[in-house]
Amino acid sequence: MAKAGTTKAIEELAAAIGEQAYLQVADWHLYLADAKLHLPLAEALYPLLLEDRFTDTALAELLANTSVSLGGGKKMLPLAELMPARSLAHLVEAIAAYQRQL
């Protein structure tokens, strides 16, 4: 039963960040949920939140180590390079709001 609760918690975190944070390519905003990046990011973030190890540095490292495939896999870029400052701020706000509910 604990796994079901964990899965639900991760899905809730994924939903919270997926609709708030986005990648920017040219003038287009691609939200993490639409890019299917919200769930893997939530799976990586959730343990940090549970263990009270979430920091700006931890988030920066996570985003730098999360690769995004472009052009059908022709190019890989770190998620950190595709998120503008405003989107990063939205991501931090969404994570903070989720963390307050824990």
6-37: pLDDT as tens digits: 899 999 999 999 999 999 999 999 999 999 99
How many helices (H) and strands (E) the chain has is answered by 5, 4
Domain containing 65 equals 2-101
CA–CA separation, 100 and 8 (whole Å): 17
Q: How many domains does the chain have?
A: 1
Residue partners of 42: CB distance under 8 A and separation at least 6: 10, 11, 13, 14, 17, 18
Amino acid letter, 87: S
DSSP 8-state class, residue 77: E
Report whether 41 contacts 77 (CB < 8 A). Answer: no
Residue 9, class by beta-carbon neighbours within 10 Å (0-12 exposed, 13-18 middle, 19+ buried)? middle
* pLDDT for 75 beyond 70: yes
Look at residue 102 in the predicted model and tell me its pLDDT: 81
